[in-house]
Amino acid sequence: MELGARFPPCKLGRSFTGWVQRTFQSTQAAAASQNSCAVDDNKATAPVPEDCPVSSYNEWDPLEEVIVGRAENACVPPFSVEVKANTYEKNWEFYQKFGGQSFPRDHLKKAIAEIEEMCNILKMEGVIVKRPEPIDWSVKYKTPDFESTGMYAAMPRDILLVVGNEIIEAPMAWRARFFEYRAYRPVIKDYFHRGAKWTTAPKPTMADELYDQDYPIHSVQDRHKLAAQGKFVTTEFEPCFDAADFIRAGRDIFVQRSQVTNNSGIEWMRRHLAPEYRVHTLSFKDPNPMHIDATLNIIGPGLVLSNPDRPCHQIEFFKKAGWTVIYPPLPLIPDDHPLWMSSKWLSMNVLMLDEKRVMVDANETPIQKMFENLGISTIKVNIRHANSLGGGFHCWTCDIRRRGTLQSYLD
């Protein structure tokens, strides 16, 4: 990741525990502040401004503002049990060797340049672009339950979910991502001060009990068998989820139980969003479920992309509702291109700018033709090196404002 303005570095030899304590103290202070505000009836009942900067109900209304992630200072996460369960055996040596260190710097430099170009193109398309703060993710930290280094702030889709005028911070499930929210706090606080709702889901301790320490992974066949049995590396010790396991279609929100999202986390979201929103759990023939948007991606009202390699067990639900199910073509990404955290199916991890415009990989000509046959114009951008960090256009972004209203598309 490219160097830039960052938070003040810790002094050599200084325990990072102090940083953790300050973080928890700031959370307590925020709670105290919230309580004091509750006493002030004028503040407590103030309506949301009509010009609230946060408003998004689905994946396809006209995009007006977006957060785009950063590759700067990205670090390989330590090779812990939850990382092992979410990655493929061919990459395990890479994690064992480089865990806690920077991703290859030449590769990062190219990824940074690609994302900068992506931001420029979004701006040219009339979209306001916000970015998280650059942070030194190599700094070690310690909680009462674990020690780790950080990872990155590259994928805002993983940590932030916008539902209406509310930003929900996901609790996450990887220890290397425990403090990832810090990079987004400045921009989220700005949205809050301008009228947005801001919710942080219960933060898990990420103690050993959250993970099956003996999760048996030896082959893809093992993964298929375990997933079919509903067994994942995360237990139900406490709620956890990544925001990218949820995808929105107005009043209906779809989610999968995955390696990073447990049933307790899904239930928390279901209760939190009820009764205005309905949360539906889907499942797939997927040996390594983690984030739904390269498996099932909703690209328009009644229009859904379904990964042919990972069939959805509930796909008839969409068909009976009159939706069109589209199976995207095989991706073209070469076998020798490093994909440390994802599969080639990032080709379908697209970003809709509206119902008739889509941001798609410049190298993926088959899916470009698919969209053009649907009457959707393609905005072609090359982010091959950025793909290596685990995401496509949908992952690298979090849409903050889309011009539209709350509707139901399944009634």
Contact 179, 146 (CB under 8 A): no
The count of other CB atoms within 10 Å of the CB of residue 16 is 16
Contact 101, 139 (CB under 8 A): no
Return the bridge partners of 207, or none.
none
| CA–CA gap between residue 251 and residue 339 (Å, rounded) | 34
Structural tokens at position 312 = 């959805």
| CA–CA gap between residue 101 and residue 245 (Å, rounded) | 27
Contact 69, 394 (CB under 8 A): no
| CA–CA gap between residue 178 and residue 139 (Å, rounded) | 13
Q: DSSP states of 346-411 as a string?
A: GGG--EEEETTEEEEETT-HHHHHHHHHTT-EEEEE--HHHHTTT--TTTTEEEEEES----BS--
Catalytic residue among 75, 240, 395, 398: 395
Q: Which residues contact 68 (CB under 8 A, 6 or more apart)?
A: 115, 118, 119, 122, 129, 130, 131, 156, 396, 397
Catalytic residue among 158, 242, 252, 399: 242
Catalytic residue among 291, 385, 394, 399: 291
Alpha helices (H) along 134-278:
156-159, 185-193, 220-228, 263-273
CA distances from 319 to 275, 325, 350 (A): 24, 7, 22
Structural tokens at position 171 = 């609790």
Contact 294, 320 (CB under 8 A): no
Contact 43, 37 (CB under 8 A): yes
Contact 349, 297 (CB under 8 A): yes
Q: Specify whether 291 is catalytic.
A: yes
Q: Which is it for the CA torsion 240, 243, 246, 252, positive or negative?
A: positive
Q: Specify whether 242 is catalytic.
A: yes
Rg of the Cα trace of the chain?
20
Contact 126, 357 (CB under 8 A): no
Q: Which residues are catalytic?
A: 242, 291, 395
